[in-house]
């Protein structure tokens, strides 16, 4: 018999915590593999850990995380029934954008997490995650302002995954009008999950 999800994910998390595949490995306090349910129907994928995530080894625990918690609560979801991770698992210095090389080195961990969890829906948060995930499944990336809230149906070996990108919750901290747009996308997500 093969290993269960729990065992596979624990092993993967251990590999991420010890990884030195890119220069960010030397700079981190803690790698941030991801958190939540390994049986989640929906996965949220951010960009990379920030200061507090690096300090605690957990995703979205700073100010953007508070926004994400509120958005989840508004559609009746808690953190322990979803899975939350990032494209890049270690913090880029000064919270700069991750480089193409860093994304390329780290994204296989995200690919593996998707294969193990087998979510029905993936919500990329922000343009880096949107670009990586749409292109991974053969779609064309577009400006996030144009495609947030749209659904892309990807075929996988274990069935269909719906990808619905939205803005990064940190964007709402600086642009309140974006919060309304993300809220609306989350309401769409709720409907989507009710069908799944
Ligand atoms: Fe490894 Fe990813 Fe961390 Fe780079 S960012 S060291 S690839 S876990
Ligand atoms: N921003 C992200 O993209 N990910 C986190 O985990 C925290 C902030």
> Residue 53: CB within 6 Å of ligand 2?
yes
CATH assignment of 5-195? 3.40.470.10
Which residue is closest in CA terms to ligand 2's atom 7? 60
Query: pTM of this prediction?
Result: 0.97
Q: Cα(8) to centroid of ligand 2, in Å?
A: 24
Chain mean position to CA 143: 18
> Residue 34: CB within 6 Å of ligand 2?
no
Q: How high is the pLDDT of residue 112? A: 98
Q: How high is the pLDDT of residue 3? A: 84
pLDDT, tens only, 146-170: 999 999 999 998 899 999 999 999 9
Residue 26 has pLDDT above 70, yes or no: yes
Beta bridge partners of 159: 156
Q: How high is the pLDDT of residue 1? A: 60
Q: Which atom of ligand 2 is nearest to the CA of 53?
A: 6
By 3-state DSSP, what share of the chain in percent is helix, strand and coil, each rounded to 5? 50, 15, 35
Phi-psi region of 186 (alpha: psi -120 to 50; beta: other; left: phi over 0): alpha
pLDDT, tens only, 1-24: 678 999 999 999 999 999 999 999
Q: Which helix (H) or strand (E) holds 65?
A: helix 63-74
Residues in Cβ contact with 167 at an 8 Å cutoff, skipping those fewer than 6 apart: 125, 126, 144, 148, 178, 181, 182, 185
> Residue 83: CB within 6 Å of ligand 2?
no
Q: Cα(57) to centroid of ligand 1, in Å?
A: 13
Q: Cα(7) to centroid of ligand 2, in Å?
A: 25
| Locus of tokens 């803690």 | 30
Which residue is closest in CA terms to ligand 1's atom 7? 106
Q: Can you tell me the distance from the alpha carbon of 96 to that of 98, in angstroms, rounded to the nearest whole number? A: 6
Residues in Cβ contact with 30 at an 8 Å cutoff, skipping those fewer than 6 apart: 17, 54, 55, 56, 57
What token pair was written down for 172?
């709402």
User: Do the Cβ atoms of 50 and 95 come closer than 8 Å?
Assistant: yes
> Residue 119: CB within 6 Å of ligand 2?
no
Q: How far apart are the first and last CA of the chain?
A: 28
Q: Can you tell me the distance from the alpha carbon of 135 to that of 128, in angstroms, rounded to the nearest whole number? A: 11
What token pair was written down for 53?
């995530």
pLDDT, tens only, 55-86: 999 999 999 999 999 999 999 999 999 999 99
What token pair was written down for 18?
């010890």
């Amino acid at each position: 018999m093969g290993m269960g999800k729990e065992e596979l994910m624990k092993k993967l998390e251990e590999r991420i915590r010890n990884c030195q595949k890119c220069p960010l490995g030397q700079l981190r306090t803690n790698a941030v593999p991801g958190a939540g349910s390994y049986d989640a129907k929906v996965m949220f994928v951010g960009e990379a850990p920030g200061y507090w995530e690096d300090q605690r080894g957990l995703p979205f625990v700073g100010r953007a995380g508070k926004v994400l918690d509120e958005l989840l609560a508004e559609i009746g979801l808690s953190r322990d029934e979803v899975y939350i991770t990032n494209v890049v698992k270690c913090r880029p210095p000064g919270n700069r954008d991750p480089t193409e090389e860093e994304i390329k080195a780290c994204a296989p961990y995200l690919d593996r997490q998707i294969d193990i969890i087998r979510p029905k829906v993936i919500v990329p948060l922000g343009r880096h995650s949107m670009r990586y995930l749409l292109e991974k499944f053969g779609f064309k990336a577009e400006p996030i302002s144009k495609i947030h809230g749209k659904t892309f149906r990807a075929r996988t070996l274990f069935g269909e995954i719906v990808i619905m990108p939205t803005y990064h919750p940190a964007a709402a901290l600086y642009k309140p009008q974006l919060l309304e747009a993300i809220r609306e996308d989350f309401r769409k997500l709720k409907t989507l999950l009710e069908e799944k």
